[in-house]
Structure 1
Amino acid sequence: MPLMFLNGTAMAGGADHHLVGDAPLVATTTTAPRYRFHAVGGRYPALEDVGAGGAAVHGEVYDLSYDRLREVLLPGEPDGLELGVVELADGSGSLAMVLRRAHGAAELTDISALASWRAYRGQP
């Protein structure tokens, strides 16, 4: 089954965590330090791979079924994101939702210094 890195409202305790269902949590970790982390219109987070000089972003890795991923999680994602692959802190890869390559004029606020959606939202 695919591993899925989550870094927003689908993490444990988040408003969209129900989309994960009973998928097991594999790890609480960070990405490799190669991403800019944005708040898109203040509504949802987005990872952007910038290579060197990026941040290590906090998140959770879940072992999802393909059905859960395809039928439940992906349809619930905002239009400004697309499915991609991120590098985790240990060098392994995981599926994740990343900033759509042609994101247009979406309002992006760089929150890389916080490296955490929960910190941005003022949550523990």
Structure 2
Amino acid sequence: MFLNGTAMAGGADHHLVGGAPLVARTTTAPRYRFHAVDGRYPALEDVGEGGAAVEGEVYDLSYEQLREVLLPGEPEGLELGVVELADGTGSLAMILRREHSKVPPLTDISELASWRAYREQS
């Protein structure tokens, strides 16, 4: 599972990862716009061309951990999807809901490409 927000190491929700091992610190392929949703959590939006490579961490979560612990804690503006990583492989990740018109205000933070960098400056 690719994590790019509060569940990364050192984040407020990292406890939701439990004992799942860290597989890699990496980035997505450069095909995503990266948003702060109402300043509270990050969201990836696949735009293909013109996107950014967003920083994150990949964890080897069990389906039980994903289903019972991580997903129930995710905000309504996100949904489970698959992202392309820098090396061309895919990973499960939380992405911006397709019907994002119902999502609170978005701030494009693609230039930062890092939730930690955004939180440090806000």
Report TM bin, short chain: over 0.9
User: Normalized per residue, which structure has more helix?
Assistant: 2
The number of residue pairs the alignment matches comes to 120
2:10 is matched with: 13
Backbone CA RMSD of aligned residues: 0.9
Q: 1:120 is matched by which residue type in structure 2?
A: Y
Which of residues 20, 25, 42 in structure 1 aligns to 2:22?
25
2:101 is matched with: 104
Q: Describe the SS at the equivalent of 1:60.
A: strand
1:103 shift after superposition? 1.6
1:63 is matched with: 60
Q: Could you give the per-residue CA deviations for residues 64-122 of structure 1, whole angstroms, max 9, x where no partner exists?
A: 00000000000000000000000000000000000000022420000000000000000
Gaps of 5+ in 1: none
The whole-number CA distance in structure 2 between the counterparts of 1:33 and 1:122 is 23
Q: Percent identity?
A: 86
Gaps of 5+ in 2: none
The whole-number CA distance in structure 2 between the counterparts of 1:89 and 1:104 is 29
The whole-number CA distance in structure 2 between the counterparts of 1:82 and 1:51 is 18
In the TM superposition, 1:56-95 aligns within 5 A as 56-95=53-92
Relative to the length of structure 2, the TM-score reads 0.97
